[in-house]
Amino acid sequence: MFWKKKKPKMDKVVKKTQDGSENYFIKLVLMGDGAVGKTSLRRNYLGMGFTEEHIMTIGADFAAKDVSYNFNGTNYNITYQIWDLAGQSTFNSVRSMYYKGCFGGLLVFDRTRPTSFENITNWLNELKKHSSRGKVPIIILGNKADLVENADPSTVVPDEKVEELVKKLNEEYADERFHIIYLSTSAKTGLNVDKAFHFMAASILSWLGVLDHPPRSIEELEEEHPIEENNKETDQ
């Protein structure tokens, strides 16, 4: 049933190399309300460290990172092209271009700002509307985990609410060759940032039909594909 959708042309996506590894070029989009930490998460992942300075993103931009994962004995070299969009509604006109051709979306909310969580479904609808491929792999990131401990509990998004949404989405996405998970992240401490991209790689490769089944949780991913084998990261 997946293959009836707009399947990416595999020869455009993957290049096999002589040593048997496979090179993929994968566009990802960051989504979520303004100031949830999209730019900071990307910066953390790209290895440029964390800056407390808030620079307003204007329109959209992207940055690339090469990463190599081993799944079932095969090396998959992935070039992630990570797009970052300003959350402000004034940039609506760039949105369709932003989402077009993406392989996956990172849906980010701020764990200490409930409205940013409530808007997750709006972001997801926008992705579905504009990605030329219908339902693409997504992951839900509850960012600013480092602030939760000292935050007023009444302002913290309850984990149960997030899990409820994830359950609902997985029901809605039951026919797809990937599962949706929730990860609590911090762009400040780096909590779960690498794991989010590792999970994304496995989900996308499964979605493309390259891996025979998608992971259902981080625990399952790490058990099947231990992280020690997946540390060959190089920055561009």
CB of 74 to ligand G3D, least distance (A): 33
Q: Can you tell me the distance from the alpha carbon of 137 to that of 206, in angstroms, rounded to the nearest whole number?
A: 10
Question: What are phi and psi for residue 40, nearest 5 degrees?
Answer: -65, -40
40 touching Mg ion, by CB under 5 A: no
CB of 116 to ligand G3D, least distance (A): 9
DSSP 99-137: HTT-SEEEEEEETT-HHHHHTHHHHHHHHHHHSTTSS--
Within 32-61, the residues that bind ligand G3D by CB under 6 A are 32, 34-40, 52-54, 57
Choices 32-40, 45-53, 129-137, 218-226 (CB under 5 A): range interacting with Mg ion: 32-40
Choices 69-77, 185-193, 209-217, 226-234 (CB under 6 A): range interacting with ligand G3D: 185-193
CB of 174 to ligand G3D, least distance (A): 30
The structure tokens listed for 13 are 């996506």
CB of 44 to ligand G3D, least distance (A): 8
52 is in the binding site of which of Mg ion, ligand G3D, none (Cβ under 5 to 8 A by kind)? ligand G3D
195 is in the binding site of which of Mg ion, ligand G3D, none (Cβ under 5 to 8 A by kind)? none
Within 151-180, the residues that bind ligand G3D by CB under 6 A are none
The structure tokens listed for 156 are 């913290």
Within 58-117, the residues that bind ligand G3D by CB under 6 A are 87
- Using CB under 5 A, which of 8, 14, 31, 39 touches Mg ion? 39
Choices 31-39, 62-70, 146-154, 210-218 (CB under 5 A): range interacting with Mg ion: 31-39
| Residue whose Cβ sits closest to Mg ion | 39
57 touching Mg ion, by CB under 5 A: yes
Helix (H, G, I), strand (E, B) or coil at 217: coil
Quick check: 139 and 106 in contact, CB under 8 A?
yes
The structure tokens listed for 187 are 């762009």
Between strands 60-71 and 138-143, the pairing is unpaired
Sign of CA dihedral 204, 42, 15, 100: positive
Helix (H, G, I), strand (E, B) or coil at 65: strand
Q: Can you tell me the distance from the alpha carbon of 47 to that of 79, in angstroms, rounded to the nearest whole number?
A: 15
Binding site for ligand G3D (CB under 6 A): 32, 34-40, 52-54, 57, 87, 143-144, 146-147, 186-188
